[in-house]
Each structure stands twice: as C-alpha cells, then as structure tokens.
Structure 1
Amino acid sequence: MDFDVKDISLAEKGKLRIEWAEKDMPVLRQIRERFEKEKPLKGITISACLHVTTETANLMITLKAGGADVYLTASNPLSTQDDVAAALVKEFNIPVFAIHGEDRDTYYKHLYTVLDKKPNITMDDGGDLISTLHQERQDLIPNVIGGTEETTTGVIRFKAMEKDGVLKFPVIAVNDAYTKHLFDNRYGTGQSTIDGILRATNRLLAGSTFVVAGYGWCGKGVAMRAKGMGADVIVTEVDPLKALEARMDGFRVMPMIEAVKQADFIVTVTGNINVVDKHHFENMKDGCIVSNSGHFDVEINIKALEEMVVNKRKIRDYVDEYTLEDGRKIYILAEGRLVNLAAAEGHPAQVMDMSFANQALSAEYLVKNKGNLEPKVYKVPDELDFEVARLKLNTMGIKIDELTQQQKEYLASWQHGT
C-alpha cells in the first residue's frame, strides 16, 4: 500500500487514541453500522484533504465501511497527528499522506498524490484539493461526482468559483449545515482555541484583555469562552450587524487599531487576509500574545512583523518572540496557523461527531444524486441536517415534542387569524 507517514511504529498509540475519540462519536458510529450493511459507497474513490486527527480517522473508517476506497492527506501541516496517520495505515489499511510539520513542497506532493487516485468524491477542509484540481488537474474532472467542504473559508472560495462560472462539479457546503456551524464553529472552536492558547502559553485569562477579530460563529464561540474564564473581551468587526450583535451580547466593540493598545491576547477568526497588519504591530501593547484560529495562516501579517524586528527567538513550543526596535515584545503562537490544532488537539470528538456525520451523509447523497446536481455550491439538505440532530439527541437521551395534526394544519393555513 502506498503511503507517507512519519513513523509507522506509532500506530499502536494512534489506534488507542482513535478508539478514545470513537467513544464520543455515537452519531457517526450509528451511520457506520448502517454503512457496513448497505455499502452505499461501494466502488467510489474518495480523496480527502482534512486535518489528520483522531476524529477524522473515525470518519475515514466510516467511509471505508460504506465501501469506499479512501485516501487521506493533510489540510494543514501543523495539525497532523503522526500516531493517528500511522494507525490508519497499519491498523485500518487506509492510505495516508501526511507528516506533522511538513514543508510546502511536501504538502503539495501529498495533495497531488491523492488526486492521482482519480477520485469520484473530494472532501476538503479549506478548499486546496478542489482548487488544485480545477487549476492543475482538469483531466480528472470527468471522474468527479462532487465534493464536500468543511470550512467557511473553503465555502467562500467555492462560491466565488461558482459566481465566476468556473466550478465544474457540485460541492456540498457541510460547513453551512446547522449541526455543523452552530456547534462545531461555536462550541468546538471556542473551546479548542482557548485550549491551544493555554497549552502554548500557560497564561491566566482571568483579568486579561482578550481581543477577538470577527464575530461569526467561530468568533462568538471564542468570545464566549474567554469571557467565561474571566477575560475582558473586545470584539473587532467590519460588519455592522455582527458588531451590534457583539455589543448586545455584552462585549466591547472597537476598531483593531484601538484594541491592540489594550490587548493582552488577540485571536483572529475572520477568514480574511492581514487582519493584524503592520500598523497594528506598531501600536501594539508590549507583551501581546497574537494567535489565529482561521483556516489559513494569512490573517496575521507575519512577514510585515519580521521586517520590523531586531530579534526573533522561539521561547516555548509554539511561541515565537519578536522584539521590536523600541524594545516591545510581541508573541506569535503556532506560526500564525490554526492555534487550536497546532498547539492543541482541535475540536472535542463530541462536536466533530455531528460535523463528520454530515460529511458521511453528504458523500452518500452525492452518490445517490449522481448526474442530477448542477456545478453549484449546495447546502446540506435539511432532511440530513435534521437526521444528524435527531440522532445526536437520541444519543444524549433527550426527547422532544412533536406537532399534533391540528398544529400542523394551523401552521400550514393562512385562514386562521386572531
């Protein structure tokens, strides 16, 4: 079997960690049990560019149980868990091409390798797989039934491709499922980002000034968790509605140029470029700790910072200290990459259970609707979203009410008044 991992001898440790995560993924487990019986993905080749973590491993195992030939590469060089990659290869016979800390050339070599498998379905986290396929491997497009995308960043990219008329096959925006972005983005990113910052720095959040750039679902989660740990939270935004929402939720709101003067911590979660830029570094408080939890490492302009400093050193794992000419020190976590996956372990399995259940069901949906979908970005069908929520509630022992026939008729009627 073709694969490229750091150390295959790490497989036993990785297998135990995969089993630990699986215990908290009961929705995906139920889907896997059905897939094993029905084999809805039989004969389908799936190339996935996702974070190589214990939770992703359970998704890969589920897809294989459904009959698919699965190939996995990393969507971020610093998020790969080498023991998990080894376990997938040795224990589950799933080819993986990912090494923690791999350079850019290796990252793309691995990406090209999984594309060479001629996928029928692509799975993306950030959009690199589909983007590369469209730009460099258009010969493979006739084989592709469709793709899925896990992140806000990737969905933005593919909607732009659709708008420009260059998207060649349907893509399901898994990120836009309610059971994904309302939970994964908010509760998952909220907890795992704080986890990454604390593991990297061992600093106290209580009493600190904590700046969150962006008040989408990820930003809401980070702000909520920072506030819960006693931080004074400032939100920066460009969207007046989100800025108003942040203020009504009890947070201070101001431009980044003002926030950096007070910030002990800054986290970017916008999906945009240069959110923390040169003029922000020039006005930044001494000792500020800056991190990113958006998908790509573009939100903090580290290149501009490096041109301003007189000294740089790694003071802790995942902490780079930059000293400016005036003596101020600025700390960048995880090289500006996803701090929750680079310095910690990413989202808890309980949250990824729903996200990856959506991935598995979306792959099945693409196969069932082969040839019936246009080259557009689609939301996860409501019936799949509701099914994931229903299964999750069942695993939590929670029951809910059902509408009576009278209530259904009332809601469907326009004739009933006051």
Structure 2
Amino acid sequence: MDCTKDYCVKDINLAPEGEKKIDWVSRFMPVLQHIRKEFEKGKPFKGVKIAATLHLEMKTAFLLLTLKAAGAEVSTTASNPLSTQDDVVAALAKNGVKVYAIRGESRGEYYEFMHKALDIEPNIIIDDGADMVSTVLKERQELIPEIWGASEETTTGVIRLRAMEKDGVLKFPIIAVNDSYTKYLFDNRYGTGQSTWDGIIRSTNLLVAGKNVVVVGYGWCGRGIAMRARGLGATVIVVEVDPIKALEARMDGFLVMPMKEAAKVGDIFVTSTGNINCIRGEHFEVMKDGVLMANAGHFDVEISKPDLESLAVEINNPRPNITEYKLKDGRRLYLLAEGRLVNLAAADGHPAEIMDMSFALQAKAAEYIKDNHEKLEPKVYVLPREIDEMVAKIKLKSMGIEIEQLTEEQRKYLESWEHGT
C-alpha cells in the first residue's frame, strides 16, 4: 500500500496502465469531452472543493479529471470496496486528484478513506449510494456550513436521500442526477442490462440460453436486465412487489410470480431492487442444485449472505468472484461477487458510451449547485429539463443523427387551444 497525505492506493507504479484505460474510454465519451473543453476554457470551479465517493474505474476517473481541469480541488474515495480498479486510482493520484481507495478494502478502511476525502472541507459532494452525505450528517457536521450541495448518482442513494428529506435531516440541497431522463432511461436500462450480464458471463463462462432467469425488481435496471436476458435466449421470470410494474412485466412478455415459486424453477437469479433480503433462507431451501445468484443493486444486502452461511456445511471459491455454498443435502448454490454489484465487482461496469451521458449530467449538476446553491433549499431536486436535452442533443450529434424540427405552424398549434374537432 502506497500512502501519503494526498493519496492512499495499492501501488502508485500502476499509474501508466490506469492512464491508458482512462485515455481509451475518453475516446468514447463525446458529451463529457465537449463539456471538458468548455470547462478548460472557463474554469468554472476555480477555488471550488469537490469530494466524491464513486465507483473508481476508468469512466469515473475521466469525470474527476474533467472537474480538475475545470479548476476544482478534487478528492475521492470508493463507493464500493470491490469496484475499485487499482491502476486507475494510481493514475488519478499521479494526475493530482486526492484519492483514497484500494480494491478489497475493509469496512473500516472504507470509512477511514471517506473521512480522508472529506478532510478537504468540500463545497460540493458527488455521491453514489449516499454514504458520503450520510457520513457528513452523522459524523462530520462541522463541514456543513461550507457545503453548497451534493449530487447523487444512483437509485438506492436517491431513495435514502428522499428519506432524509422526509425526516427533515437534510442540511443542504441534493441534485438527484439518477432521476434525469438521460440518466435512468439509458444508464439504468441499457447500461445495467449489458454490464450485469457481462459480469455474470465473465465470472462463470456459462451459457444463458435455455435457462430460467429470475429478475428480482422491474425498475429501469430490472427492465434492462430482463431485456438482455431474453436477447441471450433465456426464459425470463420477474419477481415484483409493485402491481403496476408486475403488470408491465407481464405485458412485456415475461412470466411474473412470487419469489417462493420462482425459487423452485430459476437457474440464474439477479436482484435489482434496492431492498434487503429479497432472496433469503426459505428460498435457498427450495432452489435447484447449481443455481447462480448475482446482485445488480447498490448494496450487498439483497441476497441474504447470513442465511446462506447458516445453511452451508462447506464454503469454497471454485473461481474468482464465485462463492460456493454446499448445503447439507449436497446441493450447491453459487453467489457471484460476494453479492456486491456484479457488473463492477466482476467486470468493468457500464459501457463508456452510456456513462458519457451520466457523467456529463454529474459535471453539469456540480456547476448547477455552484451557480444556484444560495436559492436552493435543503431538498432533493432534479436537474432542469434543458440540461437533459442539452446532453441528448450533443449525444445525437456525436452519433451522426439529425432529428426533425417543428415548423412555426406546428409550434403555434401546440401552444394554442383554439383548434378543435
């Protein structure tokens, strides 16, 4: 471990490999490239301190370097112990970002590093899962007067932050980047859909076609996972507690049933709910021998590891990122990536073209907080529609796509009420 006051990484000498990774993905992130050029000219974050807790891989690194190029002092730490890429964090350290993260860090190190990142006394926080905001509110309240606001990347974090708002404990405004159209319609659906299966297939080298895939949760992430599973040739079963989403899943052509029934027939289980213990003891007891279980939600609580451990008579690791739980009747159940985000713990996360939009929104959210924090209350906000549309327009242009334009007649028609039958 290489540690100074400005960084704590596994090996600073890994930086050249990390720089190659960052350079590679940056070529496929045209929206963030566009914003970076604007930021480099105007330096909108000169004198601004930004602390981030994110999945520290190559796309995220390009976001952090974009903020630094805009004049910010940037510190960062990991939002998940298994998603950190050690060569990428070394590259960040070499390029002037204060970074504290090591792949596989303990829970104690996780929070120790978070406090180190917060020691810059940030004006803006970029969060993924709301652990950094929660830490500030619980343990670092002395920082609150200097914090203008925070942005949140993921569904689980937004759920927690809205709960904080409801309980009246928020002390600064939050931008729910996850709730922007160019985030959840693409990142959650197409990003999670592809990268989750990337992680599962890399870990197992097994076939998906012909298997029963159980997708737990039919939010935007679940929709993407189910869609890609069908494309890979699986029979897809959806488990959902929301009657409207369950109806949508059935109308989309998927089977829908409760977990107690799905557990008996599933071959591969993927959770994406943001809730706790969605697959637990009574479900493990009726599963087939050899089932695979993976989680695509933010925290490792959706598949009950304590229940698995209590039922197991033997625990092995037959392959990297696979834990085998042998039960007393001889059945073997396999948990991927320790129940953590399988797409980041066992693969490289979402494709660069997807994170291009999400991180463009994060960059613009930081700018929005800087420019508007004095008139924002301590509530959860969504970015203005025009920022969403700006990201979409730049993305379309980069793809060589031109869209239709309203004529003046059409515009007037849509803005009037006089025309009828």
> How many pairs were matched up?
417
- Give secondary structure in 2 for the equivalent of 1:387: helix
Q: Could you say which residue in structure 2 is the equivalent of 1:83?
A: 87
For the pair 1:311 / 2:314, whether they are aligned, the reply is yes
In the other structure, the counterpart of 1:25 is: 29
* Paired position in structure 2 for 1:264: 267
2-structure distance, mates of 1:65, 1:182 = 29
Q: CA deviation at 1:395?
A: 0.5
Whether 1:341 aligns to 2:344 is yes
Q: 2:261 corresponds to which letter in structure 1? A: E
The answer as to 2:373 corresponding to 1:365 is: no
Displacement of 1:361 = 0.4
Q: Separation in 2 of the partners of 1:314 and 1:47? A: 36
Give 1:355's aligned residue. Answer: 358
Paired position in structure 1 for 2:254: 251
Look up the equivalent residue of 1:17 and give its one-letter code.
Answer: K
- Give, in angstroms, the shift of residue 65 of structure 1: 1.2
Residue 116 (structure 2) aligns with: 113
Name the SS of the counterpart of 2:374 in structure 1.
coil
1:163 to 158, 163, 166: 166
Deviation at 1:370, TM superposition (A): 2.5
Find 1:241's aligned residue among 231, 241, 244: 244
Residue identity opposite 1:34 in structure 2:
E
Query: 2: CA distance between counterparts of 1:159 and 1:327?
Result: 44
Q: Structure 1: which 5+ residue stretches go unaligned?
A: none
Matched, 1:296 2:283: no
Provide the residue aligned with 2:69 in structure 1: 65
Cross-structure match for 2:278: 275
Structure 1 residue 412: Cα displacement = 1.3
2:153–2:178 CA contact under 8 A, matched in 1:
yes
Q: Paired residue for 1:221?
A: 224
Q: 2:140 aligns with which of 137, 140, 146?
A: 137
| 2: CA distance, partners of 1:13 / 1:188 | 24
Aligned pairs for 1:130-209 within 5 A: 130-209=133-212
Q: Deviations over 1:168-212 (max 9, x none)?
A: 100000000100000000000000000000011011001011110
Task: Give the 3-state SS of the residue equivalent to 1:345 in structure 2.
Answer: coil
Unaligned runs of 5+ in 2: none
TM-score, reference length from structure 1: 0.99
Q: Which amino acid aligns with 2:366?
A: A
Are 1:377 and 2:374 an aligned pair?
A: no
Aligned mates of 1:296, 1:166 — CA distance in 2: 22
What is the distance in 2 between the residues matched to 1:114 and 1:19? Answer: 25
CA distance in 2, matches of 1:102, 1:290: 23
Structure 1 CA distance, aligned partners of 2:114 and 2:416?
53
Which of 6, 11, 18 is the aligned partner of 2:15?
11
Contact 2:75 2:118 in 1 (8 A): no
Q: Does 1:414 align with 2:420?
A: no
Distance in 2 (CA, whole Å) between partners of 1:318 and 1:71 is: 29
Q: Which amino acid aligns with 1:391?
A: I
Q: Which amino acid aligns with 1:278?
A: G
After TM superposition, the score normalised by the length of structure 2 is 0.98
Greater than 4 Å deviation, 4+ residue runs: none
